Amino acid sequence: MSIHEDLTATVHKLIELNESKKITRCALPLTDTNYTVLNWLDHQNFDEKIYLSDRNDRLEMASVGIADEIHHKTEQRYDDVYGQIQDRFAETNGDIKYFGGFSFFQTDSFPEHWQSFRGSRFILPVFELQRVKETGLTILFTNIVKQDTVEETLKKYDALIQLLVFSISETAPLNLKLLDRQDCPDKEQWLKSIHTVHEHLSNSDLNKVVLARESDFEFDADIPILSLMSELKSISPDCFHFIMQTDSKHAFIGATPEMLYYRKENQIQGEALAGTRARSNDPDKDNDLYDELLSSEKDRREHRYVFEQLNEHFESLCIKSKADAEPFILKLTHLQHFKQNISGILKESSTDDRLLKTLHPTPAVGGSPTNLALELIQELEDFDRGWYAAPFGWFGTDGAGFGVAIRSGLITGRHLKLYSGAGIVEGSDPHEEWQEIENKIAGFKSIFE
């Protein structure tokens, strides 16, 4: 039997046997797959696609189609989304996951390029292809949402199964010519904004403000989304990679080094990441940059604001928590940062909506104190952050995982808007901070320059 025939038989059997549940899920192990998860995703004839992989591809997931979709309906977006998803979990007997994210600021007013993402969007895909590096297993999952009748459900899924493609060739390499670049703010305005931040740091209770930039790169053709991710993964294996594609021309894409939190039942992990230096291909220069970061009082202070707030939040959310005694330096391909891990056992009241409300935004992407920093960010930034630096990940029946969507960009046809930010504290040099935000898009730039 072909994969289509096997899958059809499996889905039919499940639909006919599980009439009592609104949502059911089936798994079909695939053998002799000589393609990557990204190759498979690139060949699928669906507009809506999602891709997630953790560090070093220990677990990869690619999905297509929408079986069910959730947006917030009230101003309490975390509570609203979490409540709706919990209602869905009560209607299933499978280990289902809703994938998606939130905007950085709580708003429902967006420029056109962010409108398809909205203030929140979580999707239960129709099909998920998962590969576990440790076992080498590749499994195709199907999430079945029951229609009004069994016959309607069978008809819908029969049609969706026929859209799947399993004759896979290599993903085409990128072949783009860069035509133009526009920065918002430009360097002159950036320097003025940093001056304003320094005035607030001197004359208020502010300790840190994270200002960001939107850099719009225009190419000579539409950007092949999966080809760009394939290149991005090859140069950033130590990051969490993600794509949320809302149609053939719009996708949010990134390779973030920063986890907001990972929860398995009542156990939680998090990390504080801040302070930055570039990397160098010259070993001596690379060691000098490492020593420079290690001895930087300004960067240690910037990191400390992040860690102290995260540690305080974990203490309030957990029965008990523990953290690394000192930060260490995380070396990535293009950058290096101070990092400190933290973990804990959650209180029963610490549900995922409370975790998100408490932890986002961290001082690594907002500032400290949070509310004062966010007010100044909204006053000084002349672009919409959209989903940049916001929680992106999944809710599952026995856990949840969210990254901080930094080192990210928004694809809109021929345009790639790249976002990067820098933490401004007393002692920050405006020109060095401009170079830092340039360093933070170096991974993307190295692909197409």
Residues 148 and 248 in one domain: no
**Three-class secondary structure assignment of 238-287:** CCEEEEEEEECCEEEEEEECCEEEEEECCEEEEEEEEEEEECCCCHHHHH
* Residue 13 counted as domain residue: yes
* Residue 418 counted as domain residue: yes
* Residue 172 counted as domain residue: no
Residues 102 and 193 in one domain: no
Identify the domain boundary among 163, 190, 207: 163
Residues 125 and 210 in one domain: no
CATH number at residue 127: 3.60.120.10
Q: How many other C-beta atoms lie within 10 A of the C-beta of residue 270?
A: 26
Residues 156 and 217 in one domain: no
Residue 343 bridge partners (DSSP): 269, 322
Active site residue 208: yes
Residues 339 and 434 in one domain: yes
Q: What is the mean pLDDT for each group of 10 consecutive residues in the chain (449 residues)?
A: 87 79 90 88 96 84 97 94 96 91 93 94 97 86 90 92 91 90 97 96 93 97 95 91 95 96 96 93 94 94 94 97 95 92 97 97 95 96 97 95 96 97 94 96 90
Could you read off the pLDDT of 146-190 as tens digits, one per residue? 888 888 999 999 999 999 999 888 888 888 999 999 999 999 999
Please confirm whether the linkage preceding 430 is cis (ω < 30° from 0).
Answer: no
Q: How many other C-beta atoms lie within 10 A of the C-beta of residue 174?
A: 14
Q: According to the model, what pLDDT value does residue 345 have?
A: 98
Identify the domain boundary among 98, 133, 163: 163
Statement: the pTM of the whole predicted model exceeds 0.75: yes
Catalytic residue among 128, 214, 231, 258: 258
Residues 234 and 259 in one domain: yes
Residues 128 and 192 in one domain: no
Q: Count CA atoms within 13 Å of residue 359 on its CB side.
A: 34
Active site residue 258: yes
Non-local (6+) Cβ contacts of 228 within 8 A are 174, 253, 411, 416, 447
* Residue 337 counted as domain residue: yes
Residues 292 and 328 in one domain: yes
* Residue 75 counted as domain residue: yes
Q: Count CA atoms within 13 Å of residue 179 on its CB side.
A: 10
Residues 156 and 195 in one domain: no
**How many separate domains does the chain show?**
2
The angle that helices 150-163 and 3-17 make with each other, rounded to 10 degrees, is 160
Identify the domain boundary among 134, 163, 192: 163
Residues 107 and 235 in one domain: no
Residues 339 and 414 in one domain: yes
Catalytic residue among 49, 97, 208, 233: 208
Q: According to the model, what pLDDT value does residue 147 have?
A: 84
* Residue 169 counted as domain residue: no
Range of the domain at 21: 3-163
Q: According to the model, what pLDDT value does residue 449 have?
A: 77
* Residue 10 counted as domain residue: yes
* Residue 260 counted as domain residue: yes
Which among 34, 62, 30 is positioned nearest to 137, based on CA atoms?
A: 30
CA dist 298 and 249 (Å) reads 41
Residues 11 and 113 in one domain: yes
